[in-house]
Amino acid sequence: MKNIKWTWWVLLLSLTGLWLLADTLAPEPFTYFSFRAVLIQYTGVIGIGVMSVAMILAVRPIWLEPHLRGLDKMYRLHKWLGITGLVFALIHWWWAQGTKWMVGWGWLIKPERKPGGQQALGLAEEWLRGQRGLAESLGEWAFYAAVILIALALIKRFPYHLFTKTHKWLAISYLILVYHSLVLTQFGYWTQPVGWVMAVLMLAGSVAAVIVLLGRIGARRRSSGVIESLTYYPELRVLESAIRMEAGWGGHAAGQFAFVSSQPGEGPHPYTIASAWDPQERRIVFITKALGDHTSKLHDRLKIGTQVRVEGPYGCFDLRDGKPRQIWIGAGIGITPFVARMKELARKPAGQAIDLFHPTADFAPAAIDKLIADAQAARVNLQVLVSGKDGRLDGGRIREAVPEWRQASIWFCGPLGFGQALRQDFVAHGLAPADFHQELFQIR
């Protein structure tokens, strides 16, 4: 979280600083309309700037993963930037459109332009000025579309398959807003550092938008596979799918995830890989829980022999550090990355003392027996806590079970709120924030 918070702040402050080198929020003379003019420019710069970075992140650039600590963090930053862009766009729209309304209602009087000689314009500036009316109209409608599409993305009850289809339309709105920004940005900015940075961001964002519209996100990281076996645990509403990968899949590390598509027209869904990689077997396993419309139908829809497309791997939740001890907490379906790591450790021990806590609301003897066998093979101390029977897991209970917790790193995968509560509790008791690792993946 620290990396993406810093990135968010650095981006906003950098764009603000660059803009202040070219303009000011205190124009002279300071009037409503002079302030409106510079505020529209400022909010436009910030709005299109953060939207550009959000669009770049949408294509899952693998080279950014090490810097932002994984695609899960990148998607969190993508969401923050989308909301930030929406806020600045709303302010931008209100000062532009709201002022026109207030002039029309007689609440404001627009100052008359002072007579003066016609300034000679270059060809580029003259062309841009001729585009202003069209750019304003298109930008307004693109803004309305973006508001609706971002709102739909934030509504969790909006079906996932519709979300994947409608969210890509934001790329069209973005390209229109790039045109709007190119035309309406104060011409003098383009000779200043703020203009150079905006140009780079909008160019990169436009390339990313085209990739989105062509359906080429992650195209170079796609591989095909065939389902070899399916195991369903009705008590858990969980499906275990084993897939034999064809040539092209280069392997993965424990804790990573991939996007899987099993039906034409269905958007790719992210799942953590629950197996260690063996290049001889070329087999990966996914464990999926029925949590929505798509996952609840997988048990009936998937068949042995079904061809699937797998894109990845992604993620930096690799469960590797130099600590002599680790504490793992896999809540519910969050146990998945730890299953993969235990299978790795069974082949090649890491020499760390590891305690794994698995709080769960559901209990299936067959699944727990597999988990116990994996823990024994990896020499991991496993504690399964079934809610309603074994009580609630919290920081105090973990510290009591692992007295040497101060020498450990903590790795958590599960419900976001539960992880944040544990993090706050352990940091309050003296754990270094950098020693608490949390998987944050949420596609929306």
Whether 176 maps to a domain, the answer reads: yes
Q: Determine if the peptide bond prior to 313 is cis (ω within 30°).
A: yes
pLDDT (tens, 9 = 90+) of the chain, 444 residues, equals 678 999 999 999 999 999 999 999 999 999 999 999 999 999 999 999 999 999 999 999 999 999 998 999 999 999 999 999 999 999 999 999 999 999 999 898 888 766 554 555 678 888 888 899 999 999 999 999 999 999 998 887 787 778 888 899 999 999 999 999 999 999 999 999 999 999 999 999 999 999 999 999 999 999 999 999 999 998 888 999 999 999 889 999 999 999 999 877 677 889 999 999 999 999 999 999 887 777 788 888 899 999 999 999 999 998 989 899 999 999 999 999 999 999 999 999 988 999 999 999 888 899 999 999 999 999 999 999 998 788 899 999 999 999 999 999 999 999 999 999 999 999 999 999 999 999 886 666
- Count of domains in the chain? 3
Q: Is 345 in the same domain as 433? A: yes
Domain that residue 271 falls in: 220-314
Domain final position from 153, 183, 213? 213
Whether 444 maps to a domain, the answer reads: no
Three-state SS at 356: strand
Q: Is 262 in the same domain as 198? A: no
Per DSSP bridges, beta strands 222-233 and 283-289 are unpaired
Q: Is 350 in the same domain as 282? A: no
Whether 243 maps to a domain, the answer reads: yes
Three-state SS at 290: coil
Q: Is 45 in the same domain as 183? A: yes
Residue 23's pLDDT is: 96
Residue 159's CB is within 10 A of a number of other CB atoms, namely: 13
Is residue 419 packed enough to be buried (19+ CB in 10 Å), middle (13-18) or exposed (0-12)? buried
Residue 1's pLDDT is: 66
Q: Is 152 in the same domain as 248? A: no
Whether 432 maps to a domain, the answer reads: yes
CATH of residue 15's domain is 1.20.120
208, 55 Cβ separation under 8 angstroms: yes
Domain final position from 213, 240, 273? 213
Whether 406 maps to a domain, the answer reads: yes
Q: H or E stretch including 406?
A: none
| Among 217, 210, 201, 170, residue whose Cα is nearest residue 52 | 201
Q: Is 207 in the same domain as 259? A: no
State how far the Cα of 263 lies from the Cα of 129, in Å rounded to an integer. Answer: 48
Residue 117's pLDDT is: 47
Whether 184 maps to a domain, the answer reads: yes
CATH of residue 230's domain is 2.40.30.10
Q: Is 62 in the same domain as 38? A: yes
224: DSSP letter: E
Q: Is 396 in the same domain as 269? A: no
274, 286 Cβ separation under 8 angstroms: yes
Q: Is 173 in the same domain as 229? A: no
Q: Is 176 in the same domain as 233? A: no
Residue 387's pLDDT is: 85
State how far the Cα of 91 lies from the Cα of 135, in Å rounded to an integer. Answer: 18
Residue 185's CB is within 10 A of a number of other CB atoms, namely: 20
Whether 144 maps to a domain, the answer reads: yes
Tell me the sheet residues that pair with 360: 386
Count helices and strands (H / E) in the chain. 15, 11
Q: Is 153 in the same domain as 248? A: no
Reading the block at residue 196, the tokens are: 């150079």
Residue 120's pLDDT is: 56
Q: Is 188 in the same domain as 224? A: no
Whether 320 maps to a domain, the answer reads: no
State how far the Cα of 57 lies from the Cα of 66, in Å rounded to an integer. Answer: 14
Domain final position from 266, 284, 314? 314
CATH of residue 428's domain is 3.40.50.80
| Among 193, 271, 283, residue whose Cα is nearest residue 239 | 271
